[in-house]
Structure 1
Amino acid sequence: MTTSCSDAEKSTWPELLGKWGEVAVNTIRMENHYLHVVTVADGMIVTMEYRCDRVRVWLDKKGYVKQIPMIG
């Protein structure tokens, strides 16, 4: 079980760049079910706090991953 930020085996998912958003979310959840994975639509405003239990998956207007998903 992941208990701190440094415990995560993987912190970024560059291989998901350009993939369909739902596929990216499911992939991250399968790899680490302790993470809270959320999608962020193009143009949405989000808070800036760092959370080591969260991955934001930034999507373009068509629903594809536009930034490398990472813990934070």
Structure 2
Amino acid sequence: MEAKSVWPELIGMPAEEAFQHIGAEFPEIEVHVVPDGSTVTMDFNEQRVRLFVKDGKVVREPRRG
């Protein structure tokens, strides 16, 4: 079975709750909370998920990379 790589169900969720959700499911993944519109590196990292947040809520589909 392939590891989960996207979390569309987290869009609109408070950032802290989404952070905990991914961490509970995959403790080995680094979860980064990033303000929406921020510049980020374009490197791919299977062990990273970025939560793009505006007004405290996830605004983009979180995905590995």
TM category, shorter: over 0.9
Q: Which runs of 5+ in 2 are unaligned?
A: none
Residues of 2 paired with 1:8 and 1:22: CA distance? 26
- Counterpart pick for 2:37 among 43, 60, 70: 43
How many positions carry a matched residue from both structures? 65
Alignment of 1:1-72 (within 5 A): 9-60=3-54, 62-72=55-65
Could you list the runs of 4 or more consecutive aligned residues of structure 1 that deviate by over 4 angstroms after TM superposition?
Answer: none
Cα 1:31–1:48 shift into 2, 3 Å: same
Please give the TM-score of this superposition, normalised by the length of structure 1.
0.84
Alignment-mate amino acid for residue 32 of structure 2: V
Report deviation, 1:10. 0.7
Percent of aligned positions with the same letter in both sequences?
38
Bigger-Rg structure (1/2): 1
Which has the larger strand fraction? Answer: 2
